[in-house]
Amino acid sequence: MPQIQPAVGDTAQVENTGIEGALFLPLRVIPANGGPVLHFLRQGSPLLPDFAKGFGEVYFSEAEPGAVKAWKRHRRQTQLFTVPGGRAKIVLYDGRANSPSAGKVLERFLGRPEHYGLLRIPCGVWYGFAALGQRTALICNCADIPHDPAESERLPPDDPAIPYAWRILQTGVRNSSRRLPREKT
């Protein structure tokens, strides 16, 4: 059986990220013949959405090497991101005027082996992401409400309203100059 990162037990602690409402939970990677089993959500998880209010959707978004997918924020949708394939840099910016963490920027790396976990992105927080390295990153998102284009906003990756520069020298990523059709992530 291959050596996989030690599994994080069911008692994994939720980490505060420094942005109000944005949380990170390490997830289990269970070694198995033929390839590991990766946890995402389970009953009793501290980040499990309240499905009593209904279920949104689960979808996947790919980030190709060299492309930046930023910026977006949701007014009503809370997101849970994990990266089961590849590695990604996720950047959050708290542009909420009344938030205790207003104006803060967070860079978080997600993906295996060392950063497999679940990142909660609360309503009103801007986010963007990019693949790290030469492999496409697969981002899985469990949203608490179905996609509704009317409840989200977008800005270009280099918008001056967000104090963050996506740098090729630091991460191997560049801003995509292609205009793509509007998509969910």
Is residue 2 in a domain?
no
Which of the two residues, 125 and 12, has the higher pLDDT score? 125
- DSSP, collapsed to helix, strand or coil, labels residue 44 as coil
Is residue 4 in a domain?
no
pTM value is: 0.84
Which of the two residues, 20 and 53, has the higher pLDDT score? 20
Asked whether 29 and 5 are in contact (CB, 8 A), the reply is: yes
**Domain residue limits at 36:** 15-41+53-171
Is residue 118 in a domain?
yes
Q: Is the pLDDT of residue 2 over 70?
A: no
- DSSP, collapsed to helix, strand or coil, labels residue 150 as helix
Q: Is the Cα torsion angle 170, 172, 178, 183 positive or negative in sign?
A: negative
Is residue 79 in a domain?
yes
Is residue 134 in a domain?
yes
Is residue 180 in a domain?
no
Is residue 35 in a domain?
yes
Is residue 19 in a domain?
yes
Question: pLDDT digits over 158-171, tens only?
Answer: 999 999 999 743 34
Calculate mean pLDDT across residues 5-33.
83
Q: What is the CATH number of the domain that holds 142?
A: 2.60.120.10
Cross-strand pairs, 29? 38
pLDDT level of residue 64 (50, 70, 90 thresholds): very high
- End-to-end alpha carbon distance in the chain: 36
Question: pLDDT digits over 65-86, tens only?
Answer: 999 999 999 999 999 999 999 9
Name the domain count of the chain. 1
Asked whether 62 and 183 are in contact (CB, 8 A), the reply is: no
Across the chain, how many H-helices and E-strands are there?
1, 13
